[in-house]
Chains A and B, each alone.
Chain A
Amino acid sequence: MLRYVTGRLLSAIPTLFLIITISFFLIRVAPGGPFDLERPLEAKVMENLNKIYNLDKSLPEQYLLYLKSVLHGDFGPSFFFRDFSINELFAKSLPISMQLGLTALTLALIVGGILGITAALRQNHSVDYSVMAAATLGVTIPNFVVAPCLTLVFGVWLGWLPVGGWEGGKFVNAVLPVITLALPQVAVVARLTRGSMIEALRSNHVRTARAYGLSGYTIIVVHALRGAILPVVSYLGPAAAALLTGSVVIETIFGIPGIGRYFVQGALNRDYTLVMGTVVVVACFVIIFNIIVDLVYALLDPRVRFD
């Protein structure tokens, strides 16, 4: 298994390299630069800045320098937040985003799973219909609608929860962001679980289990659910990567100092290193979670082998 994981990590290197290369040149060929302010800087100052940030070197040179520093785990200094390095920015913001994402993910898995199983067991009954209607709602309404609407109701009208802010991650501040993040995931997990659970309950081997007088629990949990969870697992891989690396919308609306905002901010301010850093972090998360998904798959399904 260790060999498998190493192999997978190694095979991810070309992808990562490709992502870095494309992003790097895409940003650089774009018009505008990090120091194009409304008031143009003095030529001398500009020259100095360019020198400090290696912008005076040729593009291939800069590219190689960047690759080298990334290999050493250094994403370089930020162009916009002048006093910070990208690593410092991420060290502060990533844990916040991850904390939010992880909570939302857990919530989605538990609530969505339970709803999905319940709906599958009560297929075509009112319970099923209401769960599915709610799920469609959850999948359809975009988070940039949900977030302000929840704030409007619970923050402005009822005044139960703060309208925004993080304040070091107090519980009340985290409630709405977590719910908004989790809602669509709950819906998707519920739908997937219901679908695969219904299929599993109809399968021949579950019929065998019923014909042999096994208990309801054994049939549902041991024989149906284990197989039915597989599609959910493969969905959750990329979803987890996206959740843990923060959401621009939610962090903007609720004013949360996470990593999600940095990409758009960086792009708008031509903060080259910030944009690159975010892309690399997200890509790494995607790669890691894909590997985790495969491992979980193998754990659940003996037919999957690491070779």
Chain B
Amino acid sequence: MSDTSLDTATPAKLGRSLWDDARDRLLANKAAVTSIIVLAVIAVLSIFGPMFLPHQYDTVYRDYTKVPASLEAYPRQDQVEPAFNKIAKRARLSIESYKMREDGFVEAQVTSKRKIKERNAKRHFDRSDLFADTMVQGLTDGGKSATIVSRINYMHFYFGTDANGRDLLSRTLIAGRVSLTIGLLATIVAISIGVIYGATSGYLGGRVDLVMMRVVDILYSLPFIFFVIMLVVFFGRNFVLMFIAVGAVEWLDMARIVRGQTLSIKRQEYVQAAEAMGITDRGILKRHIIPNTLGPVVVYMTLLVPKVILLESFLSFLGLGVQEPMTSWGVLISEGARNLEGASWLLIFPSIFLTSTLFALNFIGDGLRDALDPKDR
């Protein structure tokens, strides 16, 4: 300090801001880090997964209704011949000889009472989910006898299929997209209303605050979940309406938190110090109030997303949420609950996804809270 000729070029030691500390504490929290990874995986799967899956979420495979989840491909060896026979019968063909070739093709000698039309036979076989690229070869006997070669169309249903024969994996991932989007959008709606309302109320104070908080108190005493249900029932099940309704319910807590926070920060000596220095309202808001309210808002936001997803799932479970063929985890779980006996995978897979997401978000929220507001400081 003896050197008084210090200029601005002096290498200043960098300090550790509270945000740095919080980040370190969060990264030291194993549960939170694991949760972040889990959530990231689920989010990436939901967003990009459906693009790479062979099945569309709304494609119906009529031959594969309620097939169990399996790593092996469908059709199974023993399913091929009966299916082939059934189609042949429908196409009015009688099978003379049947052979399953090594290269995954079925070859059969068929005869018919009438002339076999190639197009007709092809249509019958290719329409089935089991076969593809059917060829009618070597028409003999005046067209009444032929060899049909059909490729067995192997498909994977890792999560099984639902009662309509739709691939559960792609449905679960698409549902994830819907649930996460609603969760995020509704949370943004709730946070925006809550922050603006709470900050205004807290910053203005006095009578305005009194009236604004009275309004919140009254709204609190209303059975809101009922109103959401009513809204959704009466005004149609619409994606936009869903998250507006959910967001409109969940902003109350946020408003209270932000107001309390603003009030307590306003009383802090550093805000008084800024006022005493003649700092403008804008400067105080920008440099003091907002940065110091951010922590609780971020924490509340991470804890609100699972709440919203839960509410959406709940409404969907009741059949009031998103509509077919669109789906969400709540819809899938309610389908699963109806098909408990005999098709338990329909319940298990969506439940795992929903629960892990909720879990991860809760742990991240708890971790953030501990990181941003350590009690031992």
Contacts and interface: CB of A to CB of B under 8 A. Distances in A.
A267 to B, nearest CB: 4
Contacts of B341: 156, 163
Interface stretch (B70-78, B200-208, B259-267, B306-314): B306-314
A30 B232 CA distance: 10
Given A140-B355, A148-B340, A163-B340, A22 B226 contact: no
Question: Max chain B CB contacts within 10 Å: which of A30, A155, A267?
Answer: A267
Nearest to B341: A156
Interface string A271-286: 0000100110011001
B340 A152 contact: yes
B61 interface: no
Contacts of B235: 30-31
A147 B358 CA distance: 17
B337 A267 contact: no
A63 interface: no
Nearest to B236: A31
Interface in B340-367: 340-341, 344, 347, 351, 354-355, 358-359, 362-363
A84 interface: no
Contacts of B227: 22-23, 26
B221 A15 contact: yes
A287 B221 CA distance: 8
Interface string B310-333: 100110011010000000001001
A155 B363 CA distance: 32
Nearest to B350: A145
B234 A18 contact: no
A140 B229 contact: no
A282 B223 contact: yes
A263 B226 contact: yes
Interface in B99-127: none
Question: Max chain B CB contacts within 10 Å: which of A136, A144, A151, A253?
Answer: A144
A136 B347 contact: no
Interface residues of B, number: 35
Nearest to B317: A144
Given A136-B362, A149-B347, A249 B314 contact: yes
A214 interface: no
A19 B233 contact: no
A contact patch SS? helix
B340 A140 contact: no
Interface in B218-275: 218, 221-223, 226-227, 229-231, 233-235
B354 A142 contact: yes
A248 interface: yes
A96 to B, nearest CB: 20
A31 B234 contact: yes
A145 B230 contact: no
Nearest to B366: A136
A142 B310 contact: yes
Contact of B355 (A145, A263, A286): A145
A264 B228 CA distance: 11
B344 A147 contact: no
A111 interface: no
A298 B236 CA distance: 46
B344 A248 contact: no
A27 B336 CA distance: 31
A5 to B, nearest CB: 18
A248 B318 CA distance: 8
A15 B218 contact: yes
A32 interface: yes
B362 A144 contact: no
Nearest to A18: B218
B302 interface: no
A141 interface: yes
Contacts of A151: 337, 340
Contacts of A15: 218, 221
Interface in A11-57: 15, 18-19, 22-23, 26-27, 30-32
A286 B218 CA distance: 13
A252 B233 CA distance: 18
B7 to A, nearest CB: 50
Question: Max chain A CB contacts within 10 Å: which of B230, B306, B359?
Answer: B230
A140 B351 contact: no
B230 A26 contact: yes
Given A22-B222, A136-B363, A286-B221, A144 B337 contact: yes
Interface string A45-82: 00000000000000000000000000000000000000
A19 B340 contact: no
A83 to B, nearest CB: 24
Nearest to B339: A148
B340 A30 contact: no
A27 B230 contact: yes
Contacts of A249: 314, 317-318
A8 B121 CA distance: 80
A94 interface: no
Would you list the 10 A-B pairs with minimal beta carbon distance, nearest first? A30-B234, A148-B337, A267-B233, A144-B317, A140-B358, A145-B351, A15-B221, A140-B359, A282-B223, A141-B355
7 contacts: A23-B230, A26-B227, A26-B230, A30-B233, A148-B340, A148-B347, A152-B344
